Amino acid sequence: MLLQQTELKQVPSMSRLQKSTGQQQMFHSLHQILSPYMSSVVVSVLLWHVIAVLLVSNLAFASSLEETNGHPKHKGEVIYAHNGAVATDDRRCSRIGKDVLREGGHAVDAAVASSLCLGVVSPASSGLGGGAFLLLRLNNGVAKAFDMRETAPALASKDMYAGNTTLKAKGGLSVAVPGELAGLHEAWKQHGKLPWKRLVKPAEILARRGFKVSPYLHKQMEETESDILEDKGLRSIFAPNGKLLKIGGICYNKKLAKTLRTISESGPKAFYEGLIGLNLVKDVQNAGGILSMKDLKSYTVKQKEPISNDVLGLKLLGMPPPSGGHPMMLLLNILDQYKLPSGLSGALGFHREIEALKHVFAVRMNLGDPDFVNITGVLSDMLSHRFANVLKNDINDNKTFGPSHYGSRWNQIHDHGTSHLSIIDPERNAISMTSTVNAYFGSKILSPSTGIVLNNEMDDFSMPRNVTKDVPPPAPANFIMPGKRPLSSMSPTIALKVINPLSRFDFLKCGYPLPHYHPCHPLLLKLSFIKR
């Protein structure tokens, strides 16, 4: 992911960070802990007016406004800056965000430009055909949560798949109503400084002029090769000559460029009410889907109050349901019951984390879209330190148990990959945003008329199925209903800690582009050790 900077006064020397053996060991252990969890991670951290980006994978990238000859200032795995920061999955998109900040853009402006770029160069993970959660903390202390999660079409029902899990995961029937574009535009309307057209233009240029296939995109292409070759739209972009493009090969998406150009001029109305939407709906219906113009026109972004939790010496801000914010908070509350850091070190530490996760996953499946199901009691428990202590006391350091021991009543859903970006602008407005089309290339459909990769977010709903002794029943709170948003494990997070009498804050923004579950607890734990 990538980094930017903006001038902050009284910046101390970073030499102590570079020379501290203890902190170097922390970064090394952090890398070891996180490696099994994900394929790529970037976390941006503001340490006493200095922004540091920890790169714990060769798939993550960073740069700054103070770059020299195109290379960021860094030492080892730590990249730091004195101004704003932009961290994304792809160097090109981070630089686009950096340029936006250089022109005086707000963090929201950089988020719009960077995320649209990711939809072009990393379309297997996110894009206009998907959804997202955006967490924003303004420099005046006000925090906002933008829920742009996909919704079930009006014709959807809990029995629509008749037990066919393939239809739920792939093809037209797996496509939910996209929300990313509407959410980005809403955040921009409230806080953007630069013209909308200026923010969309870089992504349009990349799609039109072509971009090099990154190693990670190529990996995703290889893992879905048969699906790409099967779908006319995907094949035309990623295997134009009948074979997958190679790493470094130039990929063109002229249809997407045209779509982006129209959006830059007409805004999201062209997508949700205009010709782009009409073409998109036609392509989905031709693939057997039930998406309609009524679905697009009725889509709304939900602005909510972020959840807040004091744990590990930090104040955490997270996304409310249907995101994974509450499960992540519960996990941290459980782990905070141990004596840190010794209580989570070594093999015993891993055992405790795994056992805690089992409890969290069991509770998580009682959640659903709060506009459709009453989950007030569950949410209260998940933020309760007393409830966390009860679960912690149920963890045995010497053994594990069957699912029923952890209170598991419902069958789990399996989330897929995402894209994440973190931004701090010169005025100290901070954004943590996670976006997705769910599985690699979502529904395995690229709309031929618009160039948009379509999500398969319907697969994140629970589905009625036959129950056996070995298979728990599905979770009713997450059953499909028209207009409902499926449960998600995405958990963009901002962590703050008061660091001086002037009530200035340190920032940590985290979120993972990884499958199944997105808790950023290892980072929060390790960083809390430093702060203490």
Cα 483 versus chain centre, distance: 22
d(CA 334, CA 165): 34
In Å, what is the CA distance from 525 to each residue of 306, 338, 340, 357, 530?
21, 11, 8, 15, 9
Nearest Cα to Cα of residue 85 among 398, 401, 429, 399 = 429
Q: Which residues, listed in sequence order, are joined to residue 205 by a DSSP beta bridge?
A: none
Backbone angles phi, psi at 423, to 5 degrees: -140, 135
Q: What is the mean pLDDT of residues 184-213?
A: 99
Taking a C-beta distance cutoff of 8 angstroms, is the pair 184, 116 a contact? Answer: yes
The single residue listed with the structure tokens 């629970």 is 462
d(CA 121, CA 90): 8
Give the dihedral sign, CA 380/381/387/392. Answer: negative
Query: Which three-class secondary structure state does DSSP give residue 358?
Result: helix
Would you place residue 346 in the very low, low, confident or very high pLDDT band (cuts 50, 70, 90)? Answer: confident
Segments of 256-381 assigned E as strands: 302-304, 307-311, 314-318
Average pLDDT over the chain reads: 82
280 compared with 468, residue with greater pLDDT: 280
d(CA 338, CA 353): 11
Whether residue 213 has pLDDT greater than 90: yes
Who's near 123: CB < 8 A, 6+ residues apart?
A: 217, 253, 437, 441, 446, 453
Per-residue pLDDT of 489-527, as tens digits, reads: 898 998 887 544 433 445 555 554 433 444 444 445 444
Q: Give the annotated binding-site residues for L-glutamate.
A: 149, 436-438, 460, 488-489
The pLDDT value given to residue 249: 98
Give the dihedral sign, CA 500/143/152/237. Answer: negative
Q: What is the mean pLDDT of residues 133-141?
A: 95
In Å, what is the CA distance from 394 to each residue of 104, 149, 180?
52, 34, 40
> Helix crossing, 275-286 with 254-266: angle to 10°?
140
Query: Which three-class secondary structure state does DSSP give residue 521?
Result: helix
Residue 418 zone, left/alpha/beta (φ > 0; ψ -120 to 50; rest):
beta
Cα Rg of the chain (Å, integer): 22
Would you place residue 414 in the very low, low, confident or very high pLDDT band (cuts 50, 70, 90)? Answer: low
Portion of the chain with pLDDT greater than 90, in percent? 62
Whether residue 473 has pLDDT greater than 60: yes
d(CA 117, CA 95): 10
Give the CA-trace dihedral at 438, 30, 494, 336, to 10 degrees: 110
The answer to whether the bond into 215 is cis (omega within 30° of 0) is no
Nearest Cα to Cα of residue 87 among 75, 101, 76 = 101
Taking a C-beta distance cutoff of 8 angstroms, is the pair 318, 306 a contact? Answer: yes
Backbone angles phi, psi at 225, to 5 degrees: -55, -45
Would you place residue 323 in the very low, low, confident or very high pLDDT band (cuts 50, 70, 90)? Answer: very high
Whether residue 8 has pLDDT greater than 60: no
Question: Which residues are identified as catalytic?
Answer: 418
Residue 438 zone, left/alpha/beta (φ > 0; ψ -120 to 50; rest):
left
Per-residue pLDDT of 274-320, as tens digits, reads: 999 999 999 999 999 999 999 999 999 999 999 999 988 788 999 99
The single residue listed with the structure tokens 């005025």 is 427
Least confident of 35-39, 220-224, 263-267, 478-482: 35-39
Q: What is the mean pLDDT of residues 23-37?
A: 36
d(CA 344, CA 8): 35
Q: Centre a 10 Å sphere on the Cβ of residue 507 and count the other Cβ atoms it contains.
A: 20
315 compared with 244, residue with greater pLDDT: 244
Q: Give the annotated binding-site residues.
A: 149, 436-438, 460, 488-489
d(CA 15, CA 13): 5
Taking a C-beta distance cutoff of 8 angstroms, is the pair 511, 518 a contact? Answer: yes
